[in-house]
Amino acid sequence: MRELALLVATRKGAWIYRGDAGRREWSADGPHFLGHIIHHLVLDPRDRRTLLAAAKTGHLGPTIFRSTDLGRTWSEARRPPAFPKAAEGEMGRAVDHTFWLTPGHASEPGVWYAGTSPQALFRSEDGGETWEGVAGFNDAPAYRDRAGDAQDGTPDGPKLHSILVDPRDAAHLYLGMSGGGVHESRDAGLSWAPLIDGLEVVAGFDASQWAFHDPHCIALCPSNPDRLYQQNHCGIYRIDRPSNRWHRIGRAMPPGVGDIGFPIVVHPRDDRTAWVFPMDGTDVWPRTSPDGKPAAYVTRDGGETWQRQDTGVPPAEAWWTVYRQAMASDTCDPVGLYFGTASGSLWASADEGERWTPLADNLPPIFAVETAILD
């Protein structure tokens, strides 16, 4: 019988929560890699056996751990993501951490993509055992010089994230850079083009320059791969391909809440439905729940209107941050939603966000939450 699992990556290790059929009872399996910084823990949906964990510690360098038995045993990648050795006299780049993991297309078993900090794209063709840089991105002069180095971008380094594979075409890829904008490849990563029209940037900067853009999270609708939603540093957006223009749909959010946040999650079967978890992006950018009152917001009409979903979460004095990978949906009906906070609480809703219940209160800071169907 298949069961649902939550893959929880934290500042101090990883946990796997296994749920019953009704998503009422959950059992925790963990910690795995206690003390390791786990940025992402992802199950391969093509075999439902292979787990990859992007790991490092405060001291030790970055690596990828692999399990082919759902986390009972782990081994280390033989060649984790790493840049080529620089020529003598040149300042070479070094991967600080792998931030994002994406399984490849269904037609390409064993293929995975990884996004790192400093921002670069890596690909594995053997289930995560060995990784090679995607030269069409990493070495292209336009990207090499402007993707930012370890000291650029967010305090923990710029992040290449939201690597999306078009389910209709293995060669059609999207990615986000924070900062650095949204980019698209139609030739399996050989070449890339920015996809930033319509996106706003911080006042005073030139929106035509992709380096000034800061997508926080991008999601592609499984039910309509031509529709993508984006939570950006400067609002919530939607794009309907083949148009190249994003539209700011976050203007319809309540003014006191705003449309700033990290994560965005889409419905598995309805391309009009998406969820966000707003944060305070005013003043010095506290990045906490606005006014200390956390809530998800859902749109069911493609962003024309938004409804608040806060039943079950603390009504006040909850100064949460939900990071960009830390909110996820399952594929059940009704859809289950899950999020983890930077203060270590894990929450679930079995009814599309109408009511939230806590699954765990005292985990380390949660970096990522993914759902998976286990055999």
DSSP state of 191: S
CB 267 → other proteins: shortest distance, Å?
39
| Phi-psi label, residue 198: left if phi above 0, alpha if psi -120 to 50, beta otherwise | left
The correct pick among 21, 34, 86, 106 for binding other proteins (CB under 8 A) is 86
Q: Which is nearer to other proteins, 62 or 103 (CB)?
A: 62
Least distance in Å: CB of 121 to other proteins? Answer: 16
- Each as own residue / partner, the long-range contacts of residues 236-241 (CB below 8 Å, 24 or more positions apart, any chain) are 236/261, 236/264, 236/276, 236/303, 237/198, 237/199, 238/302, 238/303, 239/195, 239/198
Compute CA 232 distance to the chain's CA centroid, rounded to the nearest angstrom: 12
Give me the 37-76 binding string for other proteins, x by CB under 8 A, dash otherwise: --------------------xxxxx-x------------x
Q: Is 301 in the site for other proteins (CB under 8 A)?
A: no
Number of residues that bind other proteins (CB under 8 A): 19
Q: Which is nearer to other proteins, 76 or 139 (CB)?
A: 76
CA distance from start to end of the chain: 6
Which residue carries 């990784």 as its tokens? 131
Question: Taking the complex as a whole, how short is the minimal distance between the CB of residue 369 and other proteins, in angstroms?
Answer: 23
Applying CB under 8 A, among 21, 24, 78, 244 the residue interacting with other proteins is 78
| Pairwise CA distance, residues 242 & 278, whole Å | 28
Q: Which two tokens stand for residue 315?
A: 């009504």
CB of 67 to other proteins, least distance (A): 15
C-beta of 118 vs 148, nearer to other proteins: 118
| Least distance from other proteins to the Cβ atom of residue 30, Å | 17
Q: Is 92 in the site for other proteins (CB under 8 A)?
A: yes
Q: Which of 28, 94, 373, 374 binds other proteins (CB under 8 A)?
A: 94
Which of 19, 80, 302, 303 is the binder for other proteins (CB under 8 A)?
A: 80
Q: Can residue 34 be called a binding residue for other proteins (CB under 8 A)?
A: no
Question: CA–CA separation, 76 vs 25, rounded Å?
Answer: 32
Shortest spacing between CB 94 and other proteins, in angstroms: 4
Q: How far apart are CA 267 and CA 250, in angstroms?
A: 17
* Beta carbon of residue 149, minimum distance to other proteins (angstroms, whole number): 13
Structural contact between residues 171 and 185, judged by C-beta atoms closer than 8 angstroms:
yes
Residue with Cβ nearer other proteins (86 or 135): 86
Partners of 339 in beta bridges: 327, 347
Task: Give min distance, CB of 263 to other proteins, in A.
Answer: 26
Instruction: Report the sign of the C-alpha dihedral through residues 148, 151, 155, 156, in that order.
Output: positive
Among 6, 14, 95, 234, binds other proteins (CB under 8 A): 95
Determine the distance from the C-alpha atom of residue 7 to the mean position of all C-alpha atoms in its chain, rounded to a whole number.
Answer: 13
Question: Should residue 83 be labelled a site residue for other proteins when binding is judged by CB under 8 A?
Answer: yes
Cα angle, residue 341 at apex, residues 254 and 32 outer, rounded to 5°: 155
Chosen residue from 24, 47, 84, 285 binding other proteins by CB under 8 A: 84
Closer residue to other proteins, CB minimum distance, 56 or 216: 56
Do 83 and 62 contact (CB within 8 A), yes or no?
Answer: no
Per CB under 8 A, residues contacting other proteins are: 57-61, 63, 76-78, 80, 82-86, 92-95
